[in-house]
């Protein structure tokens, strides 16, 4: 177990697992949209660390996991951008589209 931990890749992979747990807890427990976005991104980077840590082989991470992780980072960003715009629009919809005042909640 200790030699396993001493291997660099597994230490970071286990940190990734802990980050997934942390992000999951935050996503469930907090209501604010921005906190949920943060928790979602924490889960995402935890998954990437997990992926990269298990792909660590002989002094570096394999190129295929690296490419897939870069793709993942960009896709997570795309979703975060849309979610942020949606959150702001939701907060603003109270003032101009006044057919349904409850829609702003």
Which parts of 47-76 interact with other proteins (CB under 8 A)?
A: 48-50, 52-71, 73-76
Phi, psi of 57 (to 5 degrees): -145, 115
By CB under 8 A, name the one of 6, 99, 100, 102 that touches other proteins: 6
Rounded least distance, CB 11 to other proteins, Å: 5
Residue 69 · residue 52 · CB < 8 Å: yes
Q: Is 25 in the site for other proteins (CB under 8 A)?
A: yes
CA distance 64 to 70: 10
Q: What is the DSSP string of 16-54?
A: HHHHHHHHHHHHHH---HHHHHHHHHHHHHHHHHHHHHH
By CB under 8 A, name the one of 3, 96, 99, 102 that touches other proteins: 96
| Range 73-92, binding other proteins (CB under 8 A) | 73-82, 84-92
Q: Is 103 in the site for other proteins (CB under 8 A)?
A: no
């Amino acid at each position: 177990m200790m030699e396993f931990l001493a291997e660099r890749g597994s230490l970071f992979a286990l940190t990734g697992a802990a980050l997934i747990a942390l992000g999951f807890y935050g996503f469930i427990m907090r209501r604010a949209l921005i906190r949920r976005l943060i928790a979602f991104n924490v889960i995402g980077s935890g998954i990437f660390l997990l992926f990269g840590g298990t792909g660590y082989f002989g002094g570096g991470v394999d190129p295929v996991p690296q490419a897939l992780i870069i793709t993942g980072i960009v896709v997570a960003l795309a979703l975060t951008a849309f979610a942020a715009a949606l959150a702001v629009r939701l907060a603003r919809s109270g003032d101009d589209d006044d057919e349904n005042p409850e829609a702003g909640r």
